[in-house]
Chains A and B, each alone.
Chain A
């Protein structure tokens, strides 16, 4: 169960997942049956799908993102569930501990809370003139508060003033951006969430319109026009999730499979966007960029 079936990024992630499953001996339609549900950021639909999937009594449920995980957990405390792209699973109450989740849930986390400071650092590095930073987040997501905390702690060292922008839809994003951009030297941190994921084009377009240098958590943001992305490789996490699904199908208990952290970080810079914003990317940054979008 994930956000959107149509997105290019989602397709490659699902492809990576299926590919890994095939490598492990599970062929969709031959050895296993997979039902996909794409809620596309619609919490109501997401909720309905969670109930629907739990009703199918599958052998294992793969969940992407914190809200989807939360909804599935509301539906079932027994069906084995593997998550990806979930932040702070302990704090979110999904698992008891990372080493020993204990229940029916395990998976792959994406970001540590310290990333809040890191994104701020990256933003400051590519756009040193930024003095005001808006953190676009989903206020009901606990992990976002942790990111916020880390960023806030680091803000003084970068001489930056932070502004929290809690959003639930495109309109709120648009409004927040418009409001924030009234003052100069603004920048933006976009936290990983279904809402930001689903409305990423709105966010990117707003950033461009209001000339806000922004840092994003995933590569596809940069590819689709975001200035810079720094974060984990979700494809890697989906591959890992496939190994966990495999082990659960073979009898392993989710509660005994440790929650793994995503370790592969990548830095992407969209030079087009940078030029549009009049940003000259420093060579020290370019030197450690994994991919530069021209």
Chain B
């Protein structure tokens, strides 16, 4: 802003300087020319008046000439003295204003310039001279047209030119003056300068004018006689070779400029002050909020997310500050969310950890109980007891073993589900047979407990994995029956949009709201129910939850503590397909297909070999046992038969593992002999390895009934469908 004002001001000054100078110059030159014209006329007038005197006939008497001269003096006040010289150069007449006239004086002037010059050039301008020390005079001489006309000589008082120059007014202190060809002052308003015979020939403007004449620039800035700096212009007075100078002191000439300069300066100053004020205001208005923004941003950047920037300027800065605040708020929110999530996750991890601990505690407790019972029963068997008592004890032992087996199977299921080795095989099937099996499966238990079990038939079809869906329903119904002591259990389904809603109702103890999430965790049993640990392990709903998630079936729970619960599973509904066949029931009657079957058992544990071998032989199988594939093959040499089944421990002490041993044997007989694995290792990796090789894996300890079920599957004429979840775990005893 200052810069603009300054440039503007300077341009203004520059232009007004040029304009002022040009206009002053023009005025001065005009005045000089006008003055030169006047002086020229003055001189010419005198010349012309004198000229008349030269035109008198040569025969004119001196008396006539005298009279003519007096007329001249009267008409031309500037002529102080007049003389007429005859052709021979003799002065015949002299007329003066202040001294007596001379007639026929006869003074010889023939050799003087005032005679010779006009004779030669018609006219003669003599040098300026001073009478009485101080009065400027010039001799002006004219020769007549005829040779005998003589010469008229006039002494012209040049003080009269002062009248001319003193009338020239330039500004207040401007003036005009006249300089002769030699550079001497002829006329000046300050007559004293002229009277003092001032020599101005060395003034630069006079030098320039004398040297250059018309060609030189007529105006320049120079010093005048008094040493002042002036703007000067001149015009020549041609006949005498004089010059009129018109000068104006620079100070006055540029006074308007100075005024304009002062004005511009004031404007500049005002502009500067305004600019500074504006800058200060802007600084206050902008810099302060920017600083607030800066420190605020820094604070937020340092993590003080609750810091808020306070700017109340009503402009973009405030908007920016608000955006900063919003950003900080969002950050804070995100941060809080993150923290909450971390907390939640941590809590979940803690819960999981707690669940694992609880699991371990529960598992060890639930395992220890039957083990303890087994120990007691075995001790009783050692004593001599009667056969009735012994059968009773054996039945108890069977029960304890079954309980342990159930526990291990359930654990195995959880393990399998967590390992992700279960791949659902969806199919479209009718729900009716599945529901019927629920009824037949639990009708007995319900009747024993005095409960009313009602399963509503349905003609709906669904898309799901039939085996896994059945597991879900088995667990749900099993739970319902277990936790209901009076009333009944109701299973039904109805269509809800694209889904079939299968519901399991009970009139049991119900589930408090705050525990609804927990019941789907492992080993969770409702608190305050210790006395009636209902023979379950708390794994049922955990399996249901996992299976539902695996299948993508939403599960819903509604419950009123003390009144009962309702579990609902939503399964994709499908249109009925009458042509489709019902899936085969996984719970077929087990026939005895073992007779005379050749089974190879490989285990590096001799005791296991003996136990399993004895058990299989007891079921009518031929058994070849060995600690490795090679050992088994060595014993098979005697036999010409191909084995019907291979049972191998997964982890062997030799170089081969169970899978490799099975492959070994299959290669030896060049036939794909049915085979499964047994392992004491429950790690999910074992399961995945076995699944990858297409082998079933049973975990030790393998209860005889499970072993028998497996044998049934593998030794049937038609090999059993691939079903990882064995029937032993399907019984739903949770």
On whether the beta carbons of A118 and B96 are closer than 8 Å, the reply is yes
Which residues of chain A are within 8 angstroms of B71 by Cβ–Cβ distance? Answer: 287-288
Which residues of chain A are within 8 angstroms of B132 by Cβ–Cβ distance? Answer: 98, 112, 261
Known contacts: A98-B132, A114-B99, A258-B196. The answer to whether A284 contacts B191 by CB under 8 A is: no
On whether the beta carbons of B74 and A287 are closer than 8 Å, the reply is yes
On whether the beta carbons of A118 and B67 are closer than 8 Å, the reply is no
On whether the beta carbons of B100 and A284 are closer than 8 Å, the reply is no
Contact with A along B45-79 (1 / 0, CB 8 A): 00000000000000000000011001101100100
On whether the beta carbons of A258 and B195 are closer than 8 Å, the reply is yes
Which residues of chain B are within 8 angstroms of A258 by Cβ–Cβ distance? Answer: 134, 191-192, 195-196
On whether the beta carbons of B70 and A118 are closer than 8 Å, the reply is no
On whether the beta carbons of A287 and B101 are closer than 8 Å, the reply is no
Which residues of chain B are within 8 angstroms of A284 by Cβ–Cβ distance? Answer: 66-67, 70
On whether the beta carbons of A99 and B159 are closer than 8 Å, the reply is no
Q: Closest CB-CB distance, B271 to chain A, in whole Å?
A: 40
Which residues of chain B are within 8 angstroms of A121 by Cβ–Cβ distance? Answer: 100-101
Which residues of chain A are within 8 angstroms of B595 by Cβ–Cβ distance? Answer: none
On whether the beta carbons of B73 and A118 are closer than 8 Å, the reply is no
Q: How large is the interface on B (under 10, 10 to 19, 20 to 34, 35 or more residues)?
A: 20 to 34
- Pick the contact of B195 from A114, A150, A260, A263 — CB < 8 Å? A260
9 pairs of A and B residues whose beta carbons are closest in the complex: A114-B99, A288-B74, A258-B195, A117-B100, A99-B134, A99-B133, A121-B100, A288-B70, A154-B100
Instruction: Verify if B98 is at the interface (C-beta below 8 Å from A).
Output: yes
Q: Which residue of A has the minimal Cβ distance to B101?
A: A121
Q: Which residue of A has the minimal Cβ distance to B196?
A: A99
Which residues of chain A are within 8 angstroms of B196 by Cβ–Cβ distance? Answer: 99-100, 258
Which residues of chain A are within 8 angstroms of B195 by Cβ–Cβ distance? Answer: 98-99, 258, 260
Instruction: Verify if A256 is at the interface (C-beta below 8 Å from B).
Output: yes
Instruction: Verify if A94 is at the interface (C-beta below 8 Å from B).
Output: no
Query: Count of chain A residues with Cβ under 8 Å from any Cβ of B?
Result: 29
The answer for the CA separation of A83 and B135 in the assembled complex, in Å, is 18
Which residues of chain B are within 8 angstroms of A53 by Cβ–Cβ distance? Answer: none
On whether the beta carbons of A260 and B191 are closer than 8 Å, the reply is yes
Interface residues of A (CB under 8 A from B): 97-100, 111-112, 114-115, 117-118, 120-121, 150, 154, 157, 256-261, 263-265, 267, 284, 287-288, 290
On whether the beta carbons of B98 and A118 are closer than 8 Å, the reply is yes
Q: Closest CB-CB distance, A96 to chain B, in whole Å?
A: 11
Q: Closest CB-CB distance, A131 to chain B, in whole Å?
A: 17
- Our count of residue pairs bridging A and B at CB distance below 8 angstroms stands at 72
The answer for the CA separation of A290 and B71 in the assembled complex, in Å, is 11
Q: Closest CB-CB distance, B300 to chain A, in whole Å?
A: 80
On whether the beta carbons of A114 and B98 are closer than 8 Å, the reply is yes
Instruction: Verify if B157 is at the interface (C-beta below 8 Å from A).
Output: yes
Which residues of chain A are within 8 angstroms of B197 by Cβ–Cβ distance? Answer: 99
The answer for the CA separation of A287 and B97 in the assembled complex, in Å, is 15
Q: Which residue of A has the minimal Cβ distance to B99?
A: A114
On whether the beta carbons of A263 and B157 are closer than 8 Å, the reply is yes
Q: Which residue of B has the minimal Cβ distance to A112?
A: B98
The answer for the CA separation of A217 and B633 in the assembled complex, in Å, is 183
**26 intermolecular pairs with C-beta atoms under 8 Å apart:** A98-B133, A99-B130, A99-B197, A100-B196, A112-B99, A114-B98, A114-B99, A114-B100, A118-B96, A120-B100, A154-B100, A256-B192, A258-B191, A258-B195, A260-B134, A260-B191, A261-B134, A263-B77, A263-B80, A263-B157, A263-B159, A263-B160, A265-B98, A284-B70, A287-B71, A288-B73
On whether the beta carbons of B77 and A118 are closer than 8 Å, the reply is no
Q: Which residue of B has the minimal Cβ distance to A289?
A: B74
On whether the beta carbons of A261 and B133 are closer than 8 Å, the reply is no
Q: Which residue of A has the minimal Cβ distance to B103?
A: A157
Q: Closest CB-CB distance, B26 to chain A, in whole Å?
A: 28
On whether the beta carbons of A118 and B100 are closer than 8 Å, the reply is yes
Which residues of chain B are within 8 angstroms of A118 by Cβ–Cβ distance? Answer: 96-100
Q: Closest CB-CB distance, B724 to chain A, in whole Å?
A: 133
Q: Closest CB-CB distance, A288 to chain B, in whole Å?
A: 4
Q: Closest CB-CB distance, A238 to chain B, in whole Å?
A: 16
The answer for the CA separation of A256 and B195 in the assembled complex, in Å, is 11
Q: Which residue of B has the minimal Cβ distance to A100?
A: B196
Q: Closest CB-CB distance, B285 to chain A, in whole Å?
A: 58
The answer for the CA separation of A263 and B161 in the assembled complex, in Å, is 13
Known contacts: A99-B196, A99-B197. The answer to whether A111 contacts B134 by CB under 8 A is: no
On whether the beta carbons of B99 and A117 are closer than 8 Å, the reply is yes
- Pick the contact of A261 from B66, B96, B135, B160 — CB < 8 Å? B135
Question: Which residues, 70 to 116 on B, are CB-close (under 8 Å) to A?
Answer: 70-71, 73-74, 77, 80, 96-101
Q: Closest CB-CB distance, A17 to chain B, in whole Å?
A: 18
The answer for the CA separation of A284 and B192 in the assembled complex, in Å, is 37
The answer for the CA separation of A256 and B74 in the assembled complex, in Å, is 33
Q: Which residue of A has the minimal Cβ distance to B189?
A: A243
Which residues of chain B are within 8 angstroms of A288 by Cβ–Cβ distance? Answer: 70-71, 73-74
The answer for the CA separation of A117 and B197 in the assembled complex, in Å, is 29
The answer for the CA separation of A100 and B73 in the assembled complex, in Å, is 30
Which residues of chain A are within 8 angstroms of B159 by Cβ–Cβ distance? Answer: 263
Q: Closest CB-CB distance, B644 to chain A, in whole Å?
A: 153
On whether the beta carbons of B77 and A264 are closer than 8 Å, the reply is yes
